[in-house]
């Protein structure tokens, strides 16, 4: 038991640290590492990842909120769709066989890897634009899908939410990242509550998971100021393709 707790600490600390280096939660690293390397059941890996993301995103939000880089109005409106998506996603996941989840996660990782490899979108204007109703509707639907994937697969969904805001809604990158962190904290809370309540999370792992996520995110966000995120994103993209292949293979062979 103790060695599993130590391994969970190491995995979540490094995922939160590495994720924060490139402005993400790290759920896309936690679930494959916990389920493939440590051999935890995938439902438990997803639940633990979501709880850890609560720690990571709140820890990261701390800086964004204080610096005024969070648009609470836009985030709260889009978050209504994300929360509904997360509730649906987590409930679907509870009734979905592990085999299927491995395969879906694998293909989602391919998408995330491709987005990362292409790099972030260019910096847009530094003021908030007026958002039309049609654009808002698009953003609302896309946020629902992001929440659904978050509840279903245990990822924070920042990799989806940031492009939604920058590409669909023309929100400046800095504010999009800050707002998505605020949204992720609420989405992952809603999703993980369902896993926790369904008894899918071993609460003996909670301490090491939560502590590791808070510490990893704080360290990662401090180091990120002094590192070149561009190269890291490319390396992560390649690593993720490898994980995607392993997860699909594991799902198919189950």
- 58 near other proteins (CB under 8 A): yes
The DSSP output letter for 203 is G
**Least distance (Å) between residue 153 CB and other proteins:** 17
**Least distance (Å) between residue 205 CB and other proteins:** 7
Among 10, 206, 232, 239, contact with other proteins (rule: CB under 8 A): 206
Q: Looking at beta carbons only, is 23 or 75 nearer to other proteins?
A: 75
- 54 near other proteins (CB under 8 A): yes
How buried is 97 (Cβ within 10 angstroms: 0-12 exposed, 13-18 middle, 19+ buried)? exposed
Q: Cα–Cα distances in Å, from 155 out to 27, 131, 160?
A: 4, 27, 10
Which residue in 243, 18, 234 sits closest to 115, CA to CA? 234
- 227 near other proteins (CB under 8 A): no
Q: Cα–Cα distances in Å, from 220 out to 17, 117, 141, 151, 209?
A: 4, 20, 31, 24, 16
Among 29, 30, 50, 51, contact with other proteins (rule: CB under 8 A): 51
Among 6, 37, 39, 72, contact with other proteins (rule: CB under 8 A): 72
- 61 near other proteins (CB under 8 A): yes
**Least distance (Å) between residue 185 CB and other proteins:** 5
Among 207, 230, 235, 254, contact with other proteins (rule: CB under 8 A): 207
Give per-residue burial for 169-204: e unless 16+ CB within 10 Å, then b.
Answer: bebbbebbbbbbbbbbbbbbbbbbbbbbeeebbbee
124's tokens: 């847009």
Q: Looking at beta carbons only, is 97 or 207 nearer to other proteins?
A: 207
Contact 209, 48 (CB under 8 A): yes
Q: Cα–Cα distances in Å, from 150 out to 4, 67, 70, 195, 229?
A: 25, 26, 20, 12, 24
- 87 near other proteins (CB under 8 A): yes
DSSP 3-state of 146: helix
The beta strand positions in 12-105, using DSSP E, are: none
Q: Looking at beta carbons only, is 23 or 106 nearer to other proteins?
A: 23
Length of the chain: 254
**Least distance (Å) between residue 250 CB and other proteins:** 27
Binding segment (CB under 8 A) for other proteins, from list 14-22, 111-119, 182-190, 221-229: 182-190
Q: Looking at beta carbons only, is 75 or 120 nearer to other proteins?
A: 75
Among residue numbers 1 through 30, which ones bind other proteins (CB under 8 A)?
Answer: 5
Q: In the complex, which residues of this chain contact other proteins (CB under 8 A)?
A: 5, 51, 54-55, 58-59, 61-62, 65-66, 68, 70, 72-73, 75-77, 79-80, 83-84, 87, 90-91, 182, 185-186, 188-190, 193-194, 196-198, 203-211, 214
């Amino acid at each position: 038991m103790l060695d599993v707790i130590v391994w969970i600490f190491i995995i979540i600390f490094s995922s939160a640290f590495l994720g924060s280096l490139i402005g993400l939660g790290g759920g896309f690293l936690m679930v494959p590492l916990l389920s493939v390397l440590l051999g935890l059941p995938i439902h438990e890996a997803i639940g633990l990842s979501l709880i850890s993301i609560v720690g990571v995103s709140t820890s990261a939000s701390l800086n964004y909120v204080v610096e005024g880089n969070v648009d609470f109005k836009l985030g709260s409106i889009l978050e209504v769709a994300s929360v509904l998506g997360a509730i649906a996603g987590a409930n679907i996941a509870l009734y979905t066989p592990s085999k299927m989840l491995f395969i879906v996660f694998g293909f989602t990782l391919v998408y995330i890897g491709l987005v990362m490899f292409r790099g972030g979108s260019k910096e847009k204007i530094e003021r908030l634009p007026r958002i039309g109703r049609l654009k808002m509707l698009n953003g609302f639907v896309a946020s629902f899908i992001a929440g659904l994937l978050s509840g279903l697969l245990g990822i924070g969904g920042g990799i989806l939410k940031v492009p939604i805001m920058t590409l669909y809604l023309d929100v400046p990158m800095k504010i999009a990242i800050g707002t998505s962190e605020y949204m992720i904290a609420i989405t992952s809370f809603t999703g993980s509550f369902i896993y926790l309540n369904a008894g899918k999370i071993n609460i003996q792992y909670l301490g090491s998971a939560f502590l590791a996520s808070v510490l990893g995110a704080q360290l990662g966000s401090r180091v990120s100021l002094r590192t070149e995120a561009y190269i890291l994103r490319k390396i992560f993209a390649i690593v993720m393709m490898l994980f995607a292949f392993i997860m699909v293979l594991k799902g198919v062979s189950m």
